[in-house]
Amino acid sequence: MRETPSTVMALRDTGQSKEILRASGIVGQIERRLFLKQGLSLGALTLLTGCDITDTSAVQSALNDISRWNDRIQALIFNPRRLMPTYPESQAVKDFRYNAYFGRRTPWTLQELYQLPQVSQVTRHVCVEGWSMIGKWTGVPFRTFLQRICADLTAKYVGFECADGYYSSIDMASALHPQTVLTFKISDEILAPRYGYPLKLRIPTKLGFKNPKWITAIFVTNRFPGGFWEDRGYSWFAGV
């Protein structure tokens, strides 16, 4: 399938080097914990697939099949008109919880983005690790942004690249959802680095790992772009 013109936006730094911390041991622990929390034991996997659990390639293949099946089902039942609950601003937590923080300098130019129409929402962030928190987010409706830059809205996917090496992607229907916002403020203040400065995608219809932080590039494509955790066996659609 021919890929659509892909580059939609790129935010570039001044060339300063960034040190990306890699903690494979911690990542492994997180992956094992999430696998067990999702309730699929190795014994159950063996019954479902008939494969040898010592054959890691067969196990990974089975997990990928299950994940793809979950993605198809969630995509079928996704309702682009269903809104997630909103809350009074009094419930918004200012000391918002976050996962992972990598200190670095990020000098960005954001004036054009700041001049676009802005909206605020008070919605619940749901983390795959089991916690959730209500926060107030402000930014540009993602649909508005994509329309302003004349992105191909008939493309299947929108992908994101981040300053820390993270990457993710969502379906176009979710990208155009009225509550999907390209945010640059939390609790009426410019995002702190731990929350994703300069840009974070806020998409309350999906689990937290589908809300990329420190976004440096956005692209639309018809070629499936995957994602950091998704390529490691997590559900790609990841709907709430």
- Give the number of other Cβ atoms within 10 Å of residue 225's Cβ: 23
Please name which of 35, 2, 14 lies closest in space to residue 152, comparing C-alpha atoms: 2
- Secondary-structure breakdown of the chain: helix, strand, coil percentages, each rounded to the nearest 5: 30, 20, 50
pTM: 0.64
CA distances to 76, 94, 222, 227 from 172, in Å: 14, 31, 10, 15
Please name which of 128, 170, 132 lies closest in space to residue 38, comparing C-alpha atoms: 128
Instruction: Give the start-to-end residue ranges of the domains of the chain.
Output: 4-39+107-232
Q: Which two tokens stand for residue 154?
A: 């008939």
What crossing angle do the helices spanning 42-49 and 56-77 adopt, rounded to 10°?
Answer: 80
Structure confidence at residue 9 (pLDDT): 54
4-39+107-232, CATH topology level: Sulfite Oxidase; Chain A, domain 2 (3.90.420)
Structure confidence at residue 101 (pLDDT): 44
Task: Say how many Å lie between the first and final Cα of the chain, rounded.
Answer: 30
Please name which of 238, 207, 236 lies closest in space to residue 65, comparing C-alpha atoms: 236
Give Cβ neighbours of residue 142 (< 8 Å, ≥ 6 apart): 175, 176, 180, 181, 182, 201, 203
Structure confidence at residue 140 (pLDDT): 95
Give Cβ neighbours of residue 117 (< 8 Å, ≥ 6 apart): 140, 141, 144
Structure confidence at residue 54 (pLDDT): 52
Structure confidence at residue 28 (pLDDT): 45
Show pLDDT as tens, one digit a residue, over the chain (240 residues): 334 444 445 454 333 333 333 333 444 444 444 444 444 444 444 444 444 445 567 777 888 888 888 899 999 999 999 999 999 999 999 888 776 544 464 344 688 889 899 999 999 999 999 999 999 999 999 999 999 888 899 999 999 999 999 999 999 999 999 999 999 999 999 999 999 999 999 999 999 999 999 999 999 999 999 999 999 999 999 999
Q: Which residues of 36-52 are buried (b: 16+ CB within 10 A; e: fewer)?
A: eeeeeeeeebeeebeee
Structure confidence at residue 55 (pLDDT): 58
Are the beta carbons of 220 and 160 closer than 8 angstroms? no
